[in-house]
Structures are given as structure tokens and as C-alpha cells.
Chains A and B, each alone.
Chain A
Amino acid sequence: MRIPPLVAQRLIASVLWILTAATIGVLLFIIAYVLIHGLPYVTWEFLSRAPERMGREGGIFPIIVGTAAVTCLAVLIAGPIGVVTAIYLTEYTREGRLTAIIRFGADCLAGIPSIIFGLFGFAFFVISLGMGLSVIAGALTLALMVLPTIIRTSEEAIRAVPYSYREVSYGLGSTRWEMVTRVVLRSALPGISTGIVLSLGRSVSETAAVMLTAGSALRMPQSLLDSSRTLALHFYILAREGISMNKAYATASVLIVAILVINLVAYWIMRRFIAKTG
């Protein structure tokens, strides 16, 4: 039986639109479900007090601090190193075997499951270097985890800058470093920033790797060597152990809102970038 093309078209289009609607539907459902169950419990008290009775009562303040500490530290470490590496690979070395290998390595590492970074972090930072379950071990592990992604996105942003700009800069008497900072980085900055912000988002969501390296202490971390718990991990523990569903949903709500904000910031940066060069 041969279906006339126009009918087939309408059929397929409908199917595809249903798929799309379903996808958007799932997204909205998940976010709505969590927020509906959780936002009522996100009070100022919740955000500013420490957890009591293993999280059954009280708030998540030390956990917010712990999350901020681990993720921000990770990005502060990986960001500059990643961008510098990207600059070095694109502007200071010649394309060849070595750079191709490094690029392949970075791509692979960007795809390695986070649990393997957790494995390494645990064995190396926590045990071998004796840091113990700590904020610093968690931060270093996460830094290694997002470093490949930052290198790749920065590299792509830098390569997107037209070669002619570089020639113009040299022609006007710039040194290589002047050309890199005043012309290339200036144009590549939005792309680089987006990559870094998205890495921050990924760090905030990360659970497996921090569980194994930063631990799950509920107390406020006093130093980099103290163990700490992150929002995602706290949510996991509360939900899995059935400690408090309300608090779990509330934690997840805070987490989702934080990620939404981070994504919005990244998106806004990209929009401004397109507006400027457009």
C-alpha cells in the first residue's frame, strides 16, 4: 500500500511533533514535580541553618557552603589552566602530531565517566597524598574532571577567531602576546566564558566523584582539609535512606534553581556574543 507523499508528510510531522512535545513535557514535568514538592519547604531558615538529626530537620547552610567551596575552587583551578593550555596549543605551537594527540586525549578525557575521576581522586588525593576526604580533594578531582572540557571549548572559541585578525595585529606591530590578549582573547572570551560557566554547572550536579573525595560530612567545613557534603549528594542520601522526603525535595529544588541560574547566565553570555559580532 503506497501512502501518498503529502499524507506521509503530515503523518510523520505529527509523530515528530508528538515526540517533541513528549520530550518538553518530561522536562517540564520533572522540574515541576521537584519544585512543587520542594519549594514550600525552602524557607529562609532552611537555607541558613545547619542540618540536625542527620538532615531530618534543620537546614542546608553548611552544605551550600560546601558545594560552593568545592565547585568554585574546582573552576578556579581548572579555568586558568584550561584557558592557558588552549592558548598555548593554538597560538604557540605548530599543528602537528603532538597537538593532534593532545587534542584526542582531551576529547577522550572529556568523555571519561566521572566515576573514574572519583576513583582516581580517592586513590590519589584522599589516600596516597593523605588529604583524606576533604574539600580540597574534591575540588582537585572536579578540576581534573572539567579541565578537558574547558580546554576543548576554549580551543574552539580561539580557533573561531579569523586568522586575518591575527595578521592585521602583527602588521600593526604587535608581539604575539599582545595579539593573543588584545585581539584573540577579546573575541574568544564569550565562548570561553560559556564553557567555564557550563563546567561550573556540571560540577554542581556531580555526585559520584565528590562522594568519594569530599566525603559526606554534615558539619560546616572550617578548612580545605575538612570533609563536606554537596547539595547533590545530600539529596541523594536523604532520598535513598528515606530520611526526609520533604527536605530531599527542598534540597533538589535549591539544586535545580542553582543550575537553572547557571545555565541562564551561560545562555545570556552567548546571546550577547552573537549580538556583538552578528
Chain B
Amino acid sequence: MRREKIISAVLATVAMSGIAGLSLITAYIFKEGLPIILRVGAGKFLLSSTWAPSEGKFGIFSMIVGSLAVTAGAMVIGVVFGLGVAIVLTQFCPRRLAAALKPAIELLAGIPSVVYGFMGVVILVPLIRDHLGGPGLSVLAASIVLGIMVLPTVTSISVDALRAVPRSYSEGSIALGATGWQTTHMVILRAARSGILAAFILGMGRAVGETMAVIMVAGNTAQVPRSILDPVRTLTSNIALEMGYAAGDHRSALFATGVTLFVIIMILNTIAMTVSRRRGQKAGRK
């Protein structure tokens, strides 16, 4: 009995230190970043598009727009291809082939972001520059690269959501004379709706968080882009590019950028969680 108590205490200590370490990060980021947001004024910080650290001007609006633009573009590609592949894997694919293809898609997630970025620079950017205009380093380039990177996440979570739809739904639909595709889009996709939404949101979270690949293909000018062919800087790139040499207020501002990212991710995660929970309740599953 005593031995059990000791074991319990040891486990608790280790667990608490792990959790404490993680809480420390959250607290630290907020501690370093929040003061300057309050000092500059949240409105000014978030909505001014002038980012000039040497002059003490810290407006991250251009980068918020940058992140949003790039993420939106990425999600278009991510959803179209990601969901498409998920549908193929679950509805139109023989079991064996699906089992072989799924790990292949997951492999896409394993390729380092710097390799993606590099391929973007070497192949995609010149392509855009030569055929569509602009410097090539652009929102479009970043969107495409990010879209490919986000695809595996969307696919894998969508596949789970699609597979969770009870067989009886599709069997019932086919019994009524519907074709495969009709069943898919009218019945199955409907039923898996919240799971797919969760996949979308989590994919978005990953797109927002990507750094290296974006730095390599997006151009990194701190200005609000006016077309998808314009260069852009995202919130993450901002931190990575300037952290090495930033000091004082400048560094605090970068932490503040981190705080913004943190909040965005937390919001996305909360939405994903509520969406998943609603799915659980609707299906009446435990």
C-alpha cells in the first residue's frame, strides 16, 4: 500500500513538472509580449500596417493580412485536394489500394518544410514570375506550397471522419437507387460534415504556424499585399527573420507577435473542439 503511494507521488511529480514546463512557455510568452501590446495600444498594434522597429513603430496589420491571405489560399488548395483525396480513399478506392496510398499521403507530411520551400523557390517561383508576372515571390507561391504541406492533415482527419459514418447510411442510400457519387455528396459528406470542418480548422492552424517554407517563397516585405502576385510577410516569418538581432522593444514586439499567434491558434482549437463535440453529441456516440 505504501509502495503504491510512493509510485503515485512520483508519477504526480513528473506529470506536474511536464505540465508546469508547458505552462511556463505560455506564461513567458504572454509576460514578454503583453506589456508592449498594452503600451502601444492593442488597436494600434493590430491595425497599423507600419512595421518600422528602428523608429519604434510596431503595427502588425500587414503581417496579419499576410498570414490570412496565405492561409486562405493554402486552405483552398488544401481542401480541394485534401478532401478530394480523402473521398477517393474512402469511397472510390479498393481496400488494398487505399491501405497503400494512405501512408504515402502521410509521407507528404514528413518532408521537411525547408525542402518544400526550396522546391518552391526552384520551380514554382520562376514559373509564376515568367507566366503570371510579379517577382514570383508572392502570396500565390506561398499559398501553393502551404497548400501542399497542409494537404496530408486535411486528408487524414477527413478520412477518419468519413470512415466514422455508419455503413447503414450508405447502404440505405444505395438501396434507394442512388449512385455512388450521389450517396457520397448527399449522405456521407453531410454526415461527416463536422469532422471535415474540424480537419479544415486544424489544417488552417498548421498553415498559420508554418515558418520556413513561407520565408523562402513569400518575399517577406512588410506591406499589405494588393494582389496574389505581391510579396508578403507573415506573422511567423516576422519572428524568424528578426529574432536573431532584435533587442529591447523590438524583441518585445516580436513576443507580442507570438502572443497574437497564440491567441489565433487557441481560437481555432476551441472552434475545432466545439465542432467535434457537437459531432459526438449528434451521432449519439460515447
Q: Which of A73-117 contact B (CB under 8 A)?
A: 80-82, 84-85, 87-89, 92, 102, 104-109, 111-117
Instruction: Please give, as numbers and ranges, the residues of chain B lying within 8 Å of A175 by CB-CB distance.
Output: 3-4
Instruction: Give the contact stretch, choosing among B45-53, B111-119, B129-137.
Output: B111-119
Q: Which of B104, B181, B262 contacts A13 (CB 8 A)?
A: B181
Contact A88 B28 (CB under 8 A): no
A9, A15, A33, A255 — most chain B CB neighbours (10 Å): A9
Q: Give the shortest distance, in Å, between B247 (CB) and chain A (any CB).
A: 11
Instruction: Give the contact stretch, choosing among A39-47, A49-57, A164-172, A233-241.
Output: A233-241
The docked-state distance in angstroms from the alpha carbon of A82 to that of B17 is: 10
Contact A113 B115 (CB under 8 A): no
Interface code A126-149, partner B: CB below 8 Å = 1, 0 otherwise?
Answer: 000000000000000000100110
Instruction: Please give, as numbers and ranges, the residues of chain B lying within 8 Å of A233 by CB-CB distance.
Output: 114
Instruction: Please give, as numbers and ranges, the residues of chain B lying within 8 Å of A120 by CB-CB distance.
Output: 25, 28-29
Instruction: Please give, as numbers and ranges, the residues of chain A lying within 8 Å of B113 by CB-CB distance.
Output: 205, 207
Question: Is A5 at the interface (CB under 8 A from chain B)?
Answer: yes
Question: Is A160 at the interface (CB under 8 A from chain B)?
Answer: no
Contact A27 B107 (CB under 8 A): yes
A15, A20, A106, A207 — most chain B CB neighbours (10 Å): A20
Q: Which of B112, B181, B239, B244 contacts A207 (CB 8 A)?
A: B112
Interface code A1-33, partner B: CB below 8 Å = 1, 0 otherwise?
Answer: 000011011001101110110111011001101
Interface size on A, residues (CB 8 A): 78
Contact A17 B269 (CB under 8 A): no
Contact A5 B181 (CB under 8 A): yes
Q: Which of B89, B101, B110, B265 contacts A259 (CB 8 A)?
A: B110
Instruction: Give the contact stretch, choosing among B35-43, B158-166, B204-212, B225-233.
Output: B204-212
Question: Is A201 at the interface (CB under 8 A from chain B)?
Answer: yes
Instruction: Please give, as numbers and ranges, the residues of chain A lying within 8 Å of B258 by CB-CB distance.
Output: 115-116, 119
Instruction: Please give, as numbers and ranges, the residues of chain A lying within 8 Å of B205 by CB-CB distance.
Output: 111
Contact A115 B236 (CB under 8 A): yes
Contact B243 A122 (CB under 8 A): yes
Instruction: Please give, as numbers and ranges, the residues of chain A lying within 8 Å of B88 by CB-CB distance.
Output: 16-17, 19-20
Instruction: Please give, as numbers and ranges, the residues of chain B lying within 8 Å of A115 by CB-CB distance.
Output: 209, 211, 236, 239-240, 258
Interface size class of B (residues with CB under 8 A): 35 or more
Q: Which of B18, B80, B240 contacts A151 (CB 8 A)?
A: B18
Closest B residue to A89 by beta carbon equals: B15
Contact A34 B115 (CB under 8 A): yes
7 contacts between A and B (CB under 8 A): A34-B115, A111-B205, A113-B209, A118-B243, A119-B243, A212-B243, A256-B112
What is A's interface to B at a CB cutoff of 8 Å? 5-6, 8-9, 12-13, 15-17, 19-20, 22-24, 26-27, 30-31, 33-34, 80-82, 84-85, 87-89, 92, 102, 104-109, 111-120, 122-124, 144, 147-148, 151, 175-177, 201, 204-205, 207-208, 211-212, 232-233, 235-236, 239-240, 248, 252, 255-256, 259-260, 262-263, 267
Q: Which 7 A-B pairs have the closest CB atoms?
A: A113-B209, A205-B112, A88-B15, A19-B84, A9-B181, A85-B15, A81-B18
What is B's interface to A at a CB cutoff of 8 Å? 3-4, 7-8, 11-12, 14-15, 17-19, 21-23, 25-26, 28-29, 32, 80-81, 84-85, 87-89, 92, 101, 103-108, 110-119, 121, 148, 151, 178-182, 202, 205-206, 208-212, 216, 236, 239-240, 243-244, 251, 254-255, 258, 261-262, 265-266, 268-269, 273
